[in-house]
Chain A
Amino acid sequence: MSAAVNAATAPDLREIEAFLTHEAALLDEARYEDWLSLFAADAWYWVPSQPGQRDPFETVSLMYDDRRLLETRVRRLMQGLLHAQNPRSAATRQVTNAAILETPPGAAVVRSKFAMVEYRRNAQRIFAGSYIHRLVRAGGALKIASKRVNLVNCDAEHGGLVVPF
């Protein structure tokens, strides 16, 4: 691929920041189906259980969804009979410090920092860490090929984690 084509298709930081903000807003508003539509057809979503975890296949993960399981996760989140979300959580996310780590042709690997406050039934929890998005261009739009969520306390004792980060 020529440098000219790459330059034309690779997302720039401004576009990426807008995309991450949009993604966070969809999650904050619990629009999970719209959130799912941001992911590519063979995407994965991963929340490791250990700092610096190398892969999701040899070590357990707080969440590791291939595209098929991510669809099921989202379908469950949309259900009325989901006990762990009855009552529902309210959540808000801040995404900052976005930086492009790599730019393979037509794609970008982006690291950002996030903080999420989740409130449910008189209890508030704070989660923070970094996101690693691999973003690709598909039919003009950006899609998430993969998203890794590094929680600063990924190896702590947690209550149930239901709302995606």
Chain B
Amino acid sequence: MPDYSTQSLARLVQPDRVHRNLYTDPAIFALEMERIFERIWIYVGHESQVRNPGDFFATRIGTKPVVMSRHSDGRVYVVHNQCAHRGVQVVAEDSGNAQEFRCCYHGWSYHTDGRIKNIPLRHAYGARVDVNDPKLAMVQVPRVQSYRGFVFASLAPTGPSLEDFLGHIATSLDDMVDRAPDGEIEIAGGVFKHGYDGNWKLYLENLLDAAHPLFVHQSSIEAAKVQDDAVASDGSGEIAIRQMRQNGASYGFWESQVGIWTYPNGHAFLGDYHDDAKLVAAMKDPNFRDYIEALEAKKGKAEAQRILEVRRWNTNIYPNVSFMSQFQQFRVVHPISVDRTVVYTYNFRLKGAPERMFRNTIAFANVVNGTGSLVLTDDLETYGRVGVGLASAGAEWLNIARGADTDKPDAHNGRRGKNSTSEIYLRNMYEAWLQYMTGTKPGLAAAAE
């Protein structure tokens, strides 16, 4: 494995271009796991997935298997999914409820906060094991913190606070929650799991890429454009076709009506894109009218209006989340290897909203995030082709310069593109990437070897 010094890493990321090795070199991937995924705050799950004591949800931080659980003390814990005896995976199910976690191999059992509960043949160890040793456990992840129900964890014992890490991008999480009339959201409606043979960074990059739909999604745009709207629909197809047509918006639209805002640590959002009227035919859709009424009844007219006028499209919280508040979509990126990535996509239900609003969420998920959708399948194809293309010995550098001359500083310590077609989100992610990878991010220097 090549050794990457700080200087050699810095050479890979330049103002207008990045080196293709960032997507293809297993040594880079290994360093990313160590210096990004195993160090900074990583989204793990949502509190609604572990509502009751004993509830658990198995997932990964980077490539490390962990379990998020609600313990009898009411708190949420994240523990390594590994037995302290011989290292076996303890929790084999994706989610559930348990009194205790018990290893299948020799029966060591653990409390749902990871502490050891019982060791069979305990007497045979004498003084050689100490049940109060925090390492004789399903070891707890050192830092776990929730922001409005979104649980983040860090494998590093010290570092910037979650608030500092999120900064202004926390307002996009606020937007997810505020849209619920009862002020609470919950994960519901199942999950899509899709995989592609390409690097994890491609996914986050694509979710803020305003210049791709016209080309990547051409087939579904053309097919939807000429669809006869008189044909029978139970509402699902109607939402799907409207979204596919919207993907066909011209460059003029992207340049005049859509913006991109970026923030420290790699976070960013596309905004001002669809208003709710375009997406769900707001005023014509009785569900949406009922929803606005419910929101106004609970929050008051002024606050309801403020909430609905936050018009963000996709928000990325670097390095593993991309979400969208208007249809309550939430995508979690799981890097597997340098050229393999799996993405799990979830839906949130708005508590206090009319039941039928959630149907719109599901219909939208099926078309935008569905493994068999008319839209996502072309994105997945593209990620795969990037993977193939980068193996070539042609272009050594990948261009990230679009809009660089017209980016400008913005409020909240941010920067914005002149419009959504700027590749500022790429430059912003790579600036953060380099800071993480070289340990120059304030507060991370001490942790860097």
Count of A-B contacts judged by CB separation below 8 Å: 146
- CB contact under 8 A between A81 and B362, given known A58-B189, A59-B190, A159-B380: no
A50 to chain B, nearest CB (A): 6
Which stretch, B4-12, B225-233, B407-415, touches the partner chain A? B225-233
For A62, the chain B residues whose CB sits under 8 A away are 192, 370-372
Q: Is the CB of B227 within 8 A of A75?
A: yes
Give CA–CA (A29, B224) in the complex, Å: 24
Asked whether B193 lies within 8 Å of A158 as measured between CB atoms, the reply is yes
Contact with A along B184-202 (1 / 0, CB 8 A): 0000111111111000000
Q: In the complex, are the beta carbons of A56 and B236 less than 8 A apart?
A: yes
- The yes or no answer to A68 lying at the interface (CB within 8 A) is yes
Please report which residues of chain B, range 222-259, place their CB below 8 angstroms from some CB of chain A when the two chains form the complex.
222-224, 226-229, 231-238, 240-241, 244
A53 to chain B, nearest CB (A): 8
Residues of A within 8 A of B193 (CB): 155-158
A19-52 near B? 1/0 per residue, CB < 8 Å: 0000000000000000000000110100101100
Q: Given the known A-B contacts A56-B236, A160-B376, are A68 and B196 also in contact in the complex, defined by CB atoms under 8 Å?
A: no
Is B52 engaged at the interface, CB distance under 8 Å to the other chain?
Answer: no
Give bound CA distance, A70 to B228, whole Å. Answer: 12
Residues of B within 8 A of A64 (CB): 236, 366
Which residues of chain B are within 8 angstroms of A44 by Cβ–Cβ distance? 234
Binary A-proximity of B345-382 (CB < 8 A = 1, otherwise 0) = 00100000000001100100110011111101110111
Q: When the two chains form their complex, are residues B219 and A81 in contact, meaning their CB atoms are under 8 A apart? A: yes
Count A-side interface residues using an 8 Å CB cutoff: 40
Q: Is the CB of A69 within 8 A of B237?
A: yes
For the complex, give the distance between the alpha carbons of A59 and B347 in Å.
9
Q: A83 — which chain B residues lie within 8 A by C-beta?
A: 216, 218-219, 378, 381-382
Question: Which residue among B222, B238, B373 has the maximum number of chain A CB atoms within 10 Å of its CB?
Answer: B373
Which of A50, A53, A68, A79 is the one whose CB lies under 8 Å from B241? A68
Across the interface, do A79 and B370 meet the contact criterion of CB distance under 8 Å?
A: no
Asked whether, in the complex, the Cβ of A68 is within 8 Å of the Cβ of B238, the reply is: yes
The residue from A47, A50, A75 contacting B190, defined by CB atoms under 8 A apart? A50
Least CB separation from A74: chain B residue = B223
Chain A residues with CB below 8 A from B240, complex form? 69, 72
CB of B196 within 8 A of CB of A73, answer no
A101 at the interface (CB under 8 A from B): no
Q: Is the CB of B366 within 8 A of A71?
A: no
B232 touches A68 (CB 8 A): yes
Confirm or deny: B287 has a beta carbon within 8 angstroms of a beta carbon on chain A. Answer: no
Q: How far is the CA of A50 from the CA of B192 in the complex (A)?
A: 10
Tell me if B265 is interfacial: C-beta within 8 Å of chain A.
Answer: no
A126 at the B interface (CB under 8 A): no
Q: How far is the CA of A44 from the CA of B384 in the complex (A)?
A: 31
Residue contact A79 to B219, C-beta cutoff 8 Å: yes
B219-A82 in contact (CB<8A) = yes
B237→A68 contact, CB < 8 A = yes
Q: Does B322 contact A (CB under 8 A)?
A: no
State whether B228 touches A71 (Cβ < 8 A): yes
Give the residues in chain A near B189, CB-CB below 8 Å: 58-60
| Contact yes or no, B377 A162, CB < 8 A | yes
A63, CB-defined interface residue at 8 Å: yes
**Contact residues in B for A53 (Cβ distance below 8 Å):** 190
Is A96 an interface residue when CB atoms closer than 8 A count as contact?
no
**A161–B372 CB distance below 8 A:** yes
Taking CB as reference atom, which chain B residue is nearest A61?
Answer: B366
Docked CA distance A27–B241 (Å): 24
Is A72 in contact with B241, judged by CB distance below 8 angstroms?
yes
B374 → chain A closest CB, angstroms: 5
Whether the pair A66, B233 counts as a contact (CB closer than 8 A) is yes
Q: Which residues in B have their C-beta under 8 angstroms from that of A118? A: none
Q: Which residues of A contact B324 (CB under 8 A)?
A: none
A49 to B192, CA, bound (A): 7
Instruction: For the complex formed, measure the closest distance between the CB of A164 and the CB atoms of chain B, giving whole angstroms.
Output: 9
Contact at A81–B233, with CB atoms within 8 Å? no
Q: Which residues of A have CB within 8 Å of B241?
A: 68-69, 72
* Among A42, A70, A162: residue with most chain B CB under 10 A: A162
Contacts of A157 in B (CB 8 A): 193-195, 342
Cα distance A56–B381 in the bound complex, in angstroms: 26
Tell whether B220 is near chain A: CB-to-CB under 8 Å: yes
Question: What are the 3 tightest A-B residue pairs by CB atom distance, in nearest-first order?
Answer: A69-B237, A160-B377, A68-B237
Q: Can you give 20 A-B contacts (C-beta < 8 A)?
A: A59-B362, A61-B366, A61-B370, A62-B371, A64-B236, A65-B237, A66-B232, A67-B231, A67-B232, A69-B236, A70-B237, A73-B374, A76-B222, A76-B223, A81-B218, A84-B219, A84-B378, A157-B193, A157-B342, A160-B377
Interfacial residues, chain B to chain A (CB-CB below 8 A)? 188-196, 216, 218-220, 222-224, 226-229, 231-238, 240-241, 244, 342, 347, 358-359, 362, 365-366, 369-374, 376-378, 380-382, 384
Sample of 19 further A-B pairs with CB below 8 A, known A63-B370, A65-B237, A66-B232: A49-B192, A49-B371, A56-B236, A58-B359, A60-B347, A61-B366, A64-B366, A67-B232, A67-B233, A68-B237, A69-B237, A72-B224, A79-B219, A82-B219, A83-B219, A84-B219, A156-B193, A157-B342, A159-B195
